[in-house]
Amino acid sequence: MSPSWKRIGAYLGILGGIIFVVVTFIAMLTYPGGYSFLENSFSALGQTVINSIPSMLNYFLFVTACTGAAVCLVPFLFAMRTLFTETTGLKALSWLGTLLCLGAAPNLSALAIFAGNVFPDIHGNTTRLFFILIMLGILCYSIAILMKSEYENIYALIGLIVVVICVLHIVAMFGIASDLFGTALWQKVAVYGLVLWSVFQGYKLLKVFEQ
């Protein structure tokens, strides 16, 4: 059986996704005036004023969801990296993927702390940085999984699907096909895709570390 810190990291990969989904769902329920799942973005949950009503509860919930997920991401990444050490190529890809995703983590927290209605530029930039960095990190790990014969390719396929979804959302942020891939609904597809990737990878790590 692997050291306990690796198993904790795997559990946190799952827990981070659960925290985000549960806490943002609560924020949707407490959203002043009612939250539209299809029309309102995740960022709307973290505004300090919603429909002319002070919404510090929602702001706090959104900061908790994003920061909690960001904190859980860090040990999860270090645990995952330990599975890719057989060759120089795998080591390089796993380290690059880890560093990129580590760069995404503070941006995930910052995009919530800097509410869109108060700090629109900072919020927008940290949101774009988060998606770009996490997408590139998952791409590196997906390639590493394909190169590692003992790792089932289904986990790489899941990662590559999430990468494509995120790329479409990223280009929409820069004004390309924004009517299709810049919508609140597509944002949710991208975010929940990231959550599923973390949960599936955490599950895989647990299976390996508990052997």
Which tens digits make up the pLDDT trace of 159-195? 999 999 999 999 999 999 989 899 999 999 999 999 9
pLDDT at 190: 98
Q: What is the mean pLDDT of residues 94-121?
A: 98
Identity of the residue numbered 56: M
Residue 68 and residue 14 in contact, taking contact as beta carbons nearer than 8 Å: no
User: Buried b vs exposed e over 26-42: b needs ≥16 C-beta within 10 Å?
Assistant: bbbeebeeebeeeebbb
Task: State pTM to two decimals.
Answer: 0.95
* 209 Cβ neighbours under 8 A, 6+ residues apart: 1, 2, 6, 7, 10, 79
User: Buried b vs exposed e over 73-87: b needs ≥16 C-beta within 10 Å?
Assistant: bbbbbebbbbbbeee
Q: What is the three-class DSSP state of 188?
A: helix
Residue spans of beta strands (DSSP E) within the chain: 49-50, 53-54
pLDDT band at 210 (very low <50, low <70, confident <90, very high): confident
pLDDT at 2: 57
